[in-house]
Structure 1
Amino acid sequence: MISGRDAGTRPESTEPEDEPQSASERQDLSNETDALDLVSILSSVEETAYVWDLKSGRVDWESNAPDILGVTDLSKIATGAAYHALIAPEHLNVRQEVFSRTAGADNLRGVPYHIHYRLRPRGLRSAKEVHLEDQGRWWPGPDGHPQLARGVVRIVDEQYLEQQRLLARNDLDELTGQLNRIRLMQALRAVLARTERDGRSCAFLMISVNNLAVINETFGLQAGDEVIAEIGRRIKSKLRGGDVIGRYSDNKFGLILMNCGPAAAHTAAERFIGAVRDTTIKTTAAQLAAAISLGGVIVPDQAKSVQDTVNFALHALDLAKSKRHDSFALYQPSSAGDGTRHRNKTIAESVVSALDENRMRLVLQPLVATSTGKADIYEALLRMERPDGSLVPAGEFVPVAEQLGLSRLIDRRALELAVELLKKHPELHLSVNVSGHTCTDKEWLAALRRLTEGDANLLHRMIIEITETVALQEINQTANFVDTLKELGCRVAIDDFGAGYTSFKNLKSLNVDMVKIDGAFVKNVVDDKNDQIFIKTMLELANSFGMETVAEWVGDERSANYLIDAGVTYLQGYYYGMPIDSSEYVKRA
């Protein structure tokens, strides 16, 4: 090494001279010396090395540094500050951030870093610049801040940098620099295969940043992103060699802990919790505290597939979050839980199969106008046809499908069937249900435009039903969805009104055409005074807003007569007939 102060000189040797050697011995020694000439090796691959004392600022460079970096005067890089003065301004923070952290300091092994930046060896105003890859480790002082760094700097070209960018884009999460979800799942799949083969246990942990929503709302999304990235770094610094970390979702990380049983998983979890809890996180907005919860599963003992591993870890994470903000729970199998998961998996497979094989069907239930006694509108109710021809009601598969993210596919298929039916029967008015996910699905609206081809008559004969609980949870998004539908010419109804977050003040803001009163307020309306008060209030409100009303679950003549007298616009229920298959529909006089 050559320090900035001693550049160009080397201390004279004080070692005693060896005894004379034979010619062959001298040749062997010469070959060995050539093979171990590290400076020559570094130069051949355009690399040089340094040792940086951050306390004094002094940087000692290998003797080939001037040639590799193109620095004419070694004093220009003899200190950390002098070296940083030659780094392109837009890249300077990349290197400074490496040596500004205290999280994860390891007194024995040091903290690794690996960065890229541009250096202008003849000054920032010079056109000459080199692209460098800087890789090394730093060691902390008593205060936990970096005190000593050892590293290697290598000249790289644009092709290499582009390859690195492509690798990072394919493998790493952009925000945290950890594996992205795809690569994390691929790593988990490989580990599962290995554990089955080797007979060794591993742990998969799911980590959630608990207070992220509060941070985002209070300090902004940038502060939230900074917290996520720092938590990822802290957790990674506490991993052992061979362990894997990846970002699973917005506020969740997945960890693969090699050769890890239940006791070791608990120990590791406490280590990760401490790494996040014990020190605040510096962000551009403020110094913040964060908390994490962890759920884990042991593989292959408790799970033998990627899907089961993730599901069980998420289940354990929910249990941990129900206890406190910095807790760990290990998955515990239960016959009831396993039964539910098996049932949900079976339903999901059945739904996907039915969609692929065109086994979704519509049945029609009439909405009878109280003014005429005729079925002016039909509600399209979805049914799933089993391979044996029997039909499954929507209530038995739609809730599970929504939880598993299949509702958008179901809604699009229901839309296709509904439009097909409307085209076949020009006099038919049809009411179609959509899930909460569809209210934010631009593809569903695009499908509506494409299937109807802008036919105003066809669109006017469609009523889109949105469940009240969904509508009022995301009031702004729902309002935009409703406005778009009405611009296209559709009518919109709020379904099951009164079943959830009944909010009369928000009803008008949605600008819907129809309100469907939840059947729970209808079935006993003749005998229940409270139901009568609710329906009376609902009708007065709807009339003042110019909305039509539908009473669901009308099951007998007494209820029908009461509702007619009360002024309900439409009645729907088994009293007016069971749902019929759409293929059996015929125009009624």
Structure 2
Amino acid sequence: MTSRTNVPGNEQVADPGADQKREALTESGNLDLVGILSSIEETAYAWNLVSGRIEWGSNAAAILGVGDLARIATGAAYHALIAPENLKDRLQVFSGGVATDRVRGVPYRVQYRITPGGPRSWKTIRVEDHGRWWPGADGHPIHARGVIRIIDDHYLEQQRQLVRNDFDELTGQLNRIRLTEALGSVLGRIEREPQSCGFLMVSVNNLAVINDTFGIATGDEAISEVARRIRGKLRGGDIIGRYASNKFGIIMMKCGPEALRVAAERFLKVVRDSTIKTSAGQLSATISIGAVVIPHQANSVQDAVNFALRALDAARSQRIDCFVLYEPLPGGESVRVRNRTIANNVIEALDDNRMRLVLQPMVSAKSGKAEIYECLLRMEKPDGQIVPAGEFVPVAEQLGLSRLIDRRALELTIALLKKHHDLVLSLNVSGLTCSDKEWIAALRRLSDGRKDILSRLIVEITETVAIEDLDQTINFVDTLKEFGCRVAIDDFGAGYTSFKNLKLLNVDIVKIDGVFVKNLANDSSDRIFIKTMIDLARIFGMETVAEWVGDEHSVKHLTDAGIDFMQGFYYGLPIDAADYVSKKP
């Protein structure tokens, strides 16, 4: 009985049977295959790994420069010409895998150097070797057919250029241009062959904090690993590309709404469930996903991208890793009616003095007492129903009503400060107010310029608003501080502000986004982030506030980390401003 080893090129093995005999290369009709291969500096071979024999194309000696094909008639003889540093790469192609597909075989592609004149020769050439191998009964390769091509520096540069043109350098996925081109091609194919597909937009949450805390290189490692994990969960035919710094686009072929949800959960889970190993240590990351069904919800590249981004924004606004499928409103007229109704309600509430403030306490970590209250706006309907700001402020901002709302909120806040001399209030303002000279004038007029009032007012600017026009925000902050007010950056960590920008802004307080606080007791990476942010804020002379504090364990972790203030439902629901009772006469 004969036997064989798994080492490619072993010549001491008998042919196992006629069904495994080598297949000779042939020419078909008048087509000169050898001539075609020679013209592009290629040659072909068929290798029987059981017997070790290689059948070469008749042009192989000339293409490879070996003089006599007898010199490379076996696998072992050919391997003797491969540069020692590359031999392992070629051997690994044939000895490193097991397969069961005896029909299609297993594809391979490898590059290496050979010395046609033998190991002691100075002349070397670089080749690309690609083909397929077929397994025997035990799954190991017994036969291979391939093509070897001479490659030079010009060829290698062409390959590198192709990679640069098609793929993102950091992640190895399609770049933005190729991703949108692929999406366009898919939409074109759908027109000819109707089917439902999906386009997902994925973002890595809180990448700015990783960059700020550990450096951009560590952030790049996180991006690359997230892309690798998502890629590993795609089906055959699905496409992923890097759309922006922390965003990926995914084209899901033949995929309806429910299948999109299942796939999204798969992506969320693979990123969430294990930490990411980086040069800075083990980190955890999460993603948010927005998706659109094509062509049912979008039949152009622009609509598909815009709607997926809109859904992604909705997912990110929930401040947890989640999936949101785009839901178009019933029609343009419905949108106009809804917006007009909200606008009318806001204007009527302003005219009828039906805007209300509720106060949410910020509790000192040292004293355990509420030392600051954040003013939260509510709108009272004529029937007495109370509407939270989230239901009307976004539309009001789009329609240019946020200035009016901010001025009314300022009036209510200053009135409270005048009424209660022990009260310290924090007031949010919109992006438009940062450039509103009338708001500044109203602040001076309502307070009468009194330092005892202005010193008890903290103005909060959201992180994203702060960096939209940094110079304008700096001027706004400087003006407030000249009045004697303090300034806070709200939702820090949700966007892309760095501590360098905070220093330029010269703010007094940093409010840490609640996404880092809600799982503090169970997530060590969040504890590291918060500790780092607190330490950096202290270096810059800034106080810190933790939002979304919901349990006693979080209180302990935050206190141990050195937080100055805590805010959240653990300390109770916001109280109506009219119910506040002064602690001092």
TM range, smaller chain:
0.5 to 0.7
Share of identical aligned residues, percent? Answer: 33
TM-score by length of 2: 0.53
For the 8 Å contact 2:134–2:142, the answer to whether it is kept is yes
TM-aligned CA deviation for residue 191 of structure 1? 1.7
Preserved contact between residue 127 and residue 149 of structure 2 (Cα < 8 Å): yes
Aligned to 2:144: 149
The reply on whether 1:69 has 2:64 as its aligned counterpart is yes
User: Cα offset for 1:426?
Assistant: 1.9
Aligned to 1:381: 428
**Mapped partners of 1:408, 1:60: distance in 2:** 68
Query: Are 1:445 and 2:499 counterparts?
Result: yes
2:510 matched to which residue of 1? 464
Equivalent residue number for residue 195 of structure 2: 201
8 Å CA contact retained: 2:490, 2:512? yes
What is the alpha-carbon distance in structure 2 between the residues aligned to residue 103 and residue 332 of structure 1?
44
Amino acid aligned to 2:474: V
Question: Match of 1:480?
Answer: 532
**What is the CA distance between 1:107 and its match in structure 2?**
3.5
| Equivalent in the alignment of 2:568 | 518
**Cα offset for 1:128?**
1.9
Aligned residue for 1:560, secondary structure, equals coil
Aligned residues of 2:10 and 2:51 also touching (Cα < 8 A) = no
Q: SS of the counterpart of 1:383?
A: coil
Distance 1:176 1:75 in 2: 45
Aligned partner of 2:366 in structure 1 is none
Q: Identify which of 435, 447, 450 aligns with 2:491.
A: 435
Give distance in 2, aligned partners of 1:139 and 1:79. Answer: 18
CA distance in 2, matches of 1:207, 1:497: 27
Query: Which residue of the other structure, out of 25, 35, 43, is the alignment partner of 2:38?
Result: 43
Task: Choose from 560, 564, 582 the match for 2:582.
Answer: 560
Call closer, same or farther: CA 1:427–1:256 in 2, change over 3 Å: closer
Offset of 1:68 from its aligned partner? 1.3
Q: Which residue number corresponds to residue 421 of structure 1?
A: 476
**Aligned twin of 1:325:** none
Equivalent residues of 1:48, 1:62 under 8 A apart: yes
Q: Could you say which residue in structure 2 is the equivalent of 1:498? A: 549
Q: Secondary structure at the match of 1:122?
A: coil
Paired position in structure 2 for 1:190 = 185
Task: Describe the shift of the 1:232–1:103 C-alpha distance in structure 2 as closer, same or farther (beyond 3 A).
Answer: farther
CA distance, structure 2, for counterparts of residue 121 and residue 115 of structure 1: 18
- Distance, in Å, in 1 between the alignment partners of 2:416 and 2:432 is 27
Q: Are residues 301 and 507 of structure 1, via their aligned partners in 2, closer, same or farther at CA, if it must alter by over 3 Å?
A: closer
Give the secondary structure class of the aligned counterpart of 2:299.
coil
RMSD between aligned residues: 5.9
The aligned residue for residue 159 of structure 2 is 164
Is the contact made by 1:380 and 1:418 (CA closer than 8 Å) also made in structure 2? Answer: no
CA distance in 2, matches of 1:314, 1:499: 29
May I ask how many residue pairs the two structures share in their alignment? 416
Deviation at residue 303 of structure 1 after TM alignment:
4.1
Does the 8 Å CA contact 2:310/2:326 hold for their aligned counterparts? Answer: no
Segments of structure 1 that go 5 or more residues without pairing to the other structure are: 6-31, 209-220, 273-293, 317-328, 392-406, 453-458, 524-551, 566-589
Q: Secondary structure at the match of 1:191?
A: helix
Q: Structure 2 stretches of 5 or more lacking a match?
A: 1-8, 12-27, 203-219, 267-288, 313-322, 340-389, 440-461
Contact 1:205 1:297 in 2 (8 A): yes
Give yes or no for contact 1:47–1:153 (8 Å, CA) kept in 2.
yes
- Kept in 2, the 8 Å contact 1:299–1:309? The answer is yes
> Do the aligned partners of residues 380 and 332 (structure 1) sit closer, same or farther apart at CA in structure 2, a change above 3 Å counting?
closer
Matched residue, 1:246: 240
In 2: Cα distance, 1:185 partner to 1:73 partner: 51
Q: Deviations over 1:475-522 (max 9, x none)?
A: 212222232232223x2222446336752332234333x314437735
Change (3 A) 1:494 1:334: same
- Aligned CA distance change for structure 1 residues 382 and 251 (closer, same or farther; 3 Å): closer
Contact 1:360-1:383 within 8 A present in 2 as well: no
Report the equivalent of 1:54: 49
Distance 2:474 2:226 in 1: 48
Rounded to whole Å, the distance in 1 between the matches of 2:123 and 2:404 is 68
Asked whether the equivalents of residues 42 and 150 of structure 2 are also in contact (C-alpha less than 8 Å), the reply is yes
CA contact (8 A) 1:295 1:314 kept: yes
Q: Which amino acid aligns with 1:447?
A: N
Residues 201 and 301, structure 1, Cα contact 8 Å, conserved in 2: no
Question: Could you report, residue by residue, the CA deviation over 1:521-579 in whole angstroms, capped at 9, with x for unpaired residues?
Answer: 356xxxxxxxxxxxxxxxxxxxxxxxxxxxx7472466433xx69xxxxxxxxxxxxxx
Q: Quickly say closer, same or farther: Cα 1:194–1:85, change in 2 above 3 A.
A: same
Distance 1:126 1:228, change over 3 A: farther
**Contact 1:71/1:121 (8 A) holds in 2:** yes
Give the equivalent residue in structure 2 for 1:584.
none
User: Matched residues in 1 for 2:198 and 2:234: separation?
Assistant: 14
Cα deviation, residue 151, structure 1: 1.4
Preserved contact between residue 492 and residue 510 of structure 2 (Cα < 8 Å): no
- State the Cα distance separating 1:84 from its structure 2 match: 3.6
